[in-house]
Amino acid sequence: MFNTPPPYLYLKNHLTFPLIIHHSPSPSCSLHFSNNNTSDSTTSIAVSYLIKTFNFTPKFASKLCSTYDIRFKTAQNPDLVLNFFRNNGFSETQLPSIITKAPWLLSCNLSLRVIPKFQFLLSKGASKSDIVNLVCKNPMVLSPSLENHIIPTYELLYRFMQSDNDTIHLVIHKPYVLSSHLVSYNIKILVDIGVKDSTMVRLLELRSTTRLFQTNEMLEMVEELKNSGFTTSKTTFVIALLARENKVAWKEKVDLYKKWGWSDEDVKEAFKKQPHCMSVSINKINLVMDFWVNQLGWDARAIAKTPHILSLSLEKRITPRALVVQFLQEKGLHKENASLTYPFVVSEKLFRDAYLKRYKEESSYLLKLYEEKLKLAYTTHKNGMR
């Protein structure tokens, strides 16, 4: 260990950042082990260190060391690593979790594997607390090569986020974007096929894109959607991609639509027209279909031809307008061959003009019926009752 530790670490450009690396041993791990070159001995030392330092159970410590092949001869390097984290804002309660997820840190070369990455993030405007937050969420962000992975990935993300502040914010909230090698690979695929930068920003910021950016089937999904007629530069392509990525949810929804009377071809055509129909929750699908089929007595396949209906609010749009359409049907004012779905997808103004004001004798009653139902829906929503 260093006899006189330097108080600060310096970047190659001589900018100074207060990354403190005091080398005094921690109270819990002033351990001294005999120098034994055998593999069993070095593993045993690592197990003992984990038990005494973090109060891990012997079984857990042993499993951790064997799983990740953790071994060292003395406590010198692990002490150095842990003290570095302690002296740079990490708490005693955070360290066990970090080491559990990335035990290799204890035997790594701190100056090569960790410090340069802290320096890089600091140079981009991240605070020490930002780095603590990032590493605690995903310690594996310290694993990839700085030059070969972290810097190129950061620069790729910066292209979309357009500022260090926004890029750091993204990295802090989604650490996997900097640690996973699949992320930059998949981003490049999407850019190469024509997905717009503005769309990429929205994708990166969405909570639901974690699996998408880390999938190893991006090329296959892209080709499938292109063959289905989706245009890669349009937003609908990305919506379709997000829906297609979750195979389990996809199958569940296909089966559900078929349960309500759709054919495989209906599902295919509905998805092509409105890919969001495969992103709608199962609960929402059931509620809309139950109301449409069981309460109104209408054909579920009508929705397959206009799947946009599934994106509409049941309480604020579908139910109030359905009451009007039903009334007009009973009065013989809505032709049998007229589209059932059209009244639900037109604008509010067009609906009022075509279905509420058009029939003078009934307009007063229809307007009252419609607005009472709307008022109830908005009042229920405001009060948190759904």
Phi then psi dihedrals of residue 38, to 5 deg: -75, 150
Q: Is the pLDDT of residue 23 over 60?
A: no
Instruction: Pull the structure tokens for residue 206.
Output: 């969405």
With cut-offs at 50, 70 and 90, classify the pLDDT of residue 328: very high
Give 170-187 pLDDT, tens digit per residue: 999 999 999 999 999 999
Q: Is the pLDDT of residue 35 over 50?
A: no
Res 4: pLDDT: 28
Res 21: pLDDT: 54
Tell me if the pTM is above 0.85: no
> Of the given ranges (39-48, 113-122, 204-213), which has the lowest mean pLDDT?
39-48
Q: Is the pLDDT of residue 340 over 50?
A: yes
Is residue 238 within 8 Å of residue 212, measured between CB atoms?
Answer: no
Res 258: pLDDT: 97
Res 380: pLDDT: 66
With cut-offs at 50, 70 and 90, classify the pLDDT of residue 82: very high
> Of the given ranges (63-77, 98-112, 186-200, 313-327), which has the lowest mean pLDDT?
63-77
Q: Can you tell me the mean pLDDT for 2-28?
A: 40
- How far apart CA 266 and CA 347 sit, in angstroms, is 26
Residue bearing the bigger pLDDT, 15 or 159: 159
Res 29: pLDDT: 39
Res 5: pLDDT: 33
Residues 6+ apart with CB under 8 A from 143: 102, 104, 179
Res 295: pLDDT: 95
Q: Where are the domains of the chain?
A: 312-386
Q: Is the pLDDT of residue 17 over 80?
A: no
Q: Is the pLDDT of residue 32 over 70?
A: no
- As to burial, measured by CB atoms within 10 angstroms (0-12 exposed, 13-18 middle, 19+ buried), residue 142 is buried
